[in-house]
Structure 1
Amino acid sequence: MTSAHGGASGETHSEAHDGPRARTPDGLEPFAAGLPFGAGSVLDPLRRDDDLAELTRDLLDVLVVGGGATGAGAALDAASRGLTTALLEGGDLASGTSSNSSRLLHGGVRYLEQLEFGLVREALHERGLLQDLAPHLVRRMSFLYPLTHRVWERGYVGAGLTLYDALAGIGDRHGFRRHRHLTRRALLRQAPQLRPDVAVGALSYDDGHVDDARLVLALARTAAREGATVLSRVRVTGLATRSGHTVATCVDALSGEQFTVRARRVVLATGPWSGLTQKMLGTDPVRVRASKGVHLVLPRERLPMDSALIARTPSSVLFVIPTGDVVLLGTTDTPWENGPGPVLPTGADVRYLLDQANQWLREPLTPDDVLGVYAGLRPLVDQPDRQKTQAISREHVVREVAPGCVVVAGGKLTTYRVMARDAVDAAVAGLPASRASATEHLGLVGASGFAQAWARRDSAAVAAGIPVASVERLAHRYGADYPLLLSMGRRDPSLLDPVPGAPSLLAAEVVYAGRHEAAMTVDDVLRRRSRAGLETADGGAAAAPHVARLLAGALGRAESWAAEQAESYARAAEVTRSALATSDDAELVPLLADLADRWSGAA
């Protein structure tokens, strides 16, 4: 159930409750940065002990286990129905599958070939809806689909995209355009990085892009705003059904303390860990197969594309996705047999993706061009009649696996809201006073007033004395809340400086992450609250000591804690680099064990 990824969290649990809060390395008192505090959407570490105590006293309506997109969405759905709700995540929010995707909100053009029309229609509806619910996080992106055959392929793919447009209802207010046919000359004008002999033309269509980790964080904070208790680093180690409720045995990963939580209904949204959580109940009817997806991160100047690229590969789909200052190159789709836990890419994964991309590019990419690599697991509901993971349907499954306990598995990031709604519907059936889902009309944290805040970005930049590009980056991360971060600079102008070694990350963001967003480690900040750990050539190593000191100040930790955090981050990064010397997943086993130990606090 616990979630982790190749970067490891570097948490040092022995210091989590180390007595009185220490003065921070820069001499500031803890929590003295002048941030406006309030209840609602703030995931505030000061409330953690009180929240834990309340969990042990009260009988909840709904307990959600798992803090990825579906789990956070389920907590929001349940809380917004007026149900007393708690979300427990064993690692950091989004630290598993939901921070390691292709960062797309899409219907899935390739699923049309599998005749999954209902899935595509549903995903396209959610793609448009999410532009309303989180306009700061979701952006329209143009995709190019190169054609290699002159007649039949253009007709075949064109027919598919015509259906795709129809299922989406293109022409509505969401701004997604109908697909367009391009000649080879037009294709090369849009993507001069492509070899001139590689395609005879292309089709262009629109889909959506989102920062997956920040979407999960927005869901969790919105759930807290609606009244849910959201706690990360709390592991559920046992589940037992009783008359009218379920008892969850939990461990606070920060203190090692064990306690129990009682809930009338339980939603298990644990993705690749679904088998483990079901076995706690003595059952395992929903079987999940894990598929590993690997992405490379390249500097934008090395591949300065404005449109994304999608093409077929022998075993998956090739995506080239420009986002911010980098380009993502993915993905693989291979069975993962090493169990749930940390996931690492191999050197073979990197070579495969480079080889697939180089078939299309004028100037071939080399391993030296790669800034970062990340890997995650797709939790696919097992279909015994389909051997290859690429052929397994992305439909989700919701099933009651024990009295009052529901498992939700499968699906995709784009349809997290539907999965969450269906899971809560199944879980609360029969509960008195349960209401229908309201999340279709519930904007996420940062959405309200975003258009006005975006319009004021130029004047905000002048007032803060920072570039407009920095304010725009903040606006896309925090939405209408970005002025809160700028206000921190009024008391301490240095907080609006970039973190040394991470030019896309302001010091204020590190403090804000610890104070408002439940970030507890350097890894949380560099890999999920921001992407600096993937978008710098050294993997964020140079930034780690600075981030650790800022985070220590926000959390009230001692200087020794900051030093240990920076060292732990560097060790985990070295493990990830070592993985790139391996040739297959079997060789990763000792490295995965090392990461799992570091994540669990044993190291």
Structure 2
Amino acid sequence: MSLATRDRLENLRRISTESFDLLVIGGGITGAGIALDAASRGLRTALVDRRDFASGTSSRSSKLIHGGLRYLKQLQFKVTFESSREKNRLRRLAPHLIRDLPFVFPVKAGLAGRAAVTTGLWLYDLAAGLPGGMIHRKIDVAEAARLVPGLAEEKLSAAYVYYDACADDCRLVIHVVKKAAEFGACVANYAEVVGFDDDRTARIRADGRELTARAKVIVNATGVWCDDVLRRRTKDAPRLVRPSKGVHLVVSRERLPLEAAAILQSPEDGRVVFLIPAGERVIVGTTDTDYSGDIDHPRAETKDVEYLLGLVNRHLPAAKMTRADVVSTFAGLRPLMNEDAENPSKVSRDHVIVDDGILTITGGKLTTYRLMAKQVTDRVCRKLGVKRKCGTHRIPLFAAERSDDALVRNYGSEAAKIADRTPLIDGLSYVEGEPEYAVTHEMAATLADVLARRMRVVLFDREQGRGIAEKVARRLAPLTGWNVSEQVEGFEREIEDYPK
């Protein structure tokens, strides 16, 4: 499936001249999922995003595909069971992309604490429906320290291993967008909805000109931007979203040589933080704090970085992590429902669908995107007066067998289309052919799209990304018509959101 620059221009032409059953605003995981569901049911579907696909929260998550162990403690059983079921579906639909991981859960409490953890893990296993070899087990302290070197053994009373999964969130979004296009969805990035004439007509600005898009139903799936979109239609629209900032650190795996992921709990606020091995790096996160700043550019602040480093050093004192060990940072905003809980960590991770002429969905999690999309598309079908069943639980996402080949892990059955496999960056698994594939098959419109989202160079090594930026831009210029200096300047602005 090809999604090249010329396809974007043709899709914008179609969006401005044709009528659709459904217009989806927002190209993150939720909007992409809705576009795939609707298109696969035979609805004439268009999908637009004001920036790049997955440029918001959907590229800045913890990368976890999980049931949410901590939600059991908060008695959010529905969220846990739904998430666990969807995790298992994703393991079948995109086995190359979904990576099973053992998680070490160290316990410092006494007998009562161990009993609570054991009960929670049994419930979690029950919700997950995992095969016998992936049921949680108790391990001795020495084994825990082997899997998570530096763990403060003398402070542990017990440790357990349980299983969850992770995935490159941005790659998942691109998989879903491409599959939606394969089913006929008309998709375009850098196409911003700037207003509405009525509930069936949206005004879109793209490439310096204004277009009019017409659809029988419009869905607002813009995450933390959904209130902004609604106020372009109704100035006094009620606030639906409570943004919560989640900050992550990326460090070298040489500094944290993990053999498994780990779950750590803050003794001060009870917040759970994960250590997640990702190739040559480890992702540390996340925080959960109310956010009232610029939603286009959330960033890690000094206090966020110090909080995470302090928690790591408390549990792994031998690590002695400092700011100098941080390769990059990133921050994403959760579109939590606007509830009155004092602590954002207490706000439900469930989702809500509101219909006030256009449909708006907010809340939810990366893991449950398919279920959220199904529920929205069911509502769309009812509004259209058609009966068409969801089939996305049977649609593979460019599935390939699990592999140690990084290209297969990232591209699945499309990996064979990447011909030039010369290493691109020392110490990371990217190859020379990936940037070209991004602009010819994945609608990457800028250098930042290529290096920050189609490939995760900026995420895993910000400075190396800067080092290859001009080289990659020059190589792609004949294919794209790019002005190299403009692309490099735009890339430099983009990576300000990933400070060290």
Give the TM-score taking structure 1 as reference length.
0.79
TM-aligned CA distance change 1:186 to 1:503, over 3 Å? closer
Partner of 2:395: 442
Cα deviation digits, residues 100-151 of structure 1 (max 9, x gap) = 0000011111111111111100000000000111111101100011010231
Is the contact made by 1:64 and 1:87 (CA closer than 8 Å) also made in structure 2?
yes
1:440 & 1:154 partners in 2: Cα distance?
37
Q: 1:286: how far off?
A: 5.6
Residue 185 (str. 1) matches residue 142 (str. 2): yes
Name the CA distance, whole Å, in 1 between partners of 2:305 and 2:238.
35
- Percent pairwise identity: 39
Corresponding position: 1:355 with 2:314? no
User: What's the CA shift string for 1:402-449, capped at 9, x where partnerless?
Assistant: 2xx1001000100011111111111221424440111111111x21xx
CA distance in 2, matches of 1:473, 1:535: 14
Partner of 1:594: none
Structure of greater Rg: 1
Q: Among residues 562, 571, 586, which one is paired with 2:484 in the alignment?
A: 562
| Distance verdict in 2 for CA 1:532–1:256, change over 3 Å | same
2-structure distance, mates of 1:524, 1:198: 45
Equivalent residue for 2:204? Answer: 250
The Cα offsets for residues 477-508 of structure 1, whole Å up to 9 and x where unpaired, read as 1112111113xxxxxxxx33222568432121
Contact 1:137 1:477 in 2 (8 A): yes
1:375 maps to amino acid: A
SS at match of 2:384: coil
> Number of aligned pairs?
496
Amino acid at match of 1:219: V
Instruction: Report the counterpart of residue 55 of structure 2 in structure 1.
Output: 95
Output aligned runs, 1:537-576, within 5 Å. 538=463, 540-557=465-482, 561-573=483-495
Q: Counterpart of 1:38? A: none
Partner SS state of residue 444, structure 2: coil
2:303 equivalent to 1:370: no
For 1:54 and 1:93, how far apart are their aligned partners in 2? 19
User: Which residue is equivalent to 1:281?
Assistant: 233
Q: Does 1:477 align with 2:429?
A: no
Comparing 153-162 with 332-341, which one deviates more in the overlay?
332-341
Contact 1:250/1:258 (<8 A) preserved: yes
1:556 Cα deviation (Å)? 3.2
Map 1:273-312 onto structure 2 (within 5 A). Answer: 273-282=225-234, 284-285=237-238, 287-312=240-265
What is the identity, as a one-letter code, of the residue corresponding to 1:300?
R
Please report how far the alpha carbon of residue 75 of structure 1 lies from its aligned counterpart in structure 2 after TM superposition: 0.3
TM-score (norm 2): 0.95
| C-alpha distance in structure 2 between counterparts of 1:572 and 1:473, whole Å | 25
Deviation digits for residues 567-596 of structure 1, max 9, x if unmatched?
Answer: 33234445754xx7xxxxxxxxxxxxxxxx
The 1:553/1:201 distance shift into structure 2, 3 A limit, reads farther
1:324-473 correspondence runs (5 A): 324-361=279-316, 362-384=318-340, 386-402=341-357, 405-444=358-397, 446-447=398-399, 450-451=400-401, 472-473=405-406
Q: Is the alpha carbon distance of 1:128 and 1:500 closer, same or farther for their aligned partners in structure 2, counting shifts above 3 Å?
A: closer
Measured at CA, do residues 427 and 206 of structure 1 come closer, stay the same or move farther in structure 2, by a change above 3 Å?
A: same
Structure 1 residues without counterparts, runs of 5 or longer: 1-40, 456-468, 487-494, 581-603
Structure 2 residue identity aligned to 1:563: S
Gaps of 5+ in 2: none
Q: Secondary structure at 2:247's aligned position in 1?
A: strand
Aligned residue number for residue 220 of structure 1: 177
Specify the code of the residue in structure 2 equivalent to 1:304: P
Q: Does structure 1 residue 266 correspond to structure 2 residue 188?
A: no
Residues 551, 513 of structure 1: CA spacing in aligned structure 2 closer, same or farther, 3 A cutoff?
same
Describe the superposition over 1:435-480 as per-residue Cα deviations: whole angstroms up to 9, x where unpaired. 0111111111x21xx23xx67xxxxxxxxxxxxx6xx000101112
Give, in whole Å, the separation in 1 of the partners of 2:190 and 2:452.
16
Alpha-carbon separation, structure 2, partners of 1:502 and 1:302: 15
CA offset at residue 530 of structure 1? 1.3
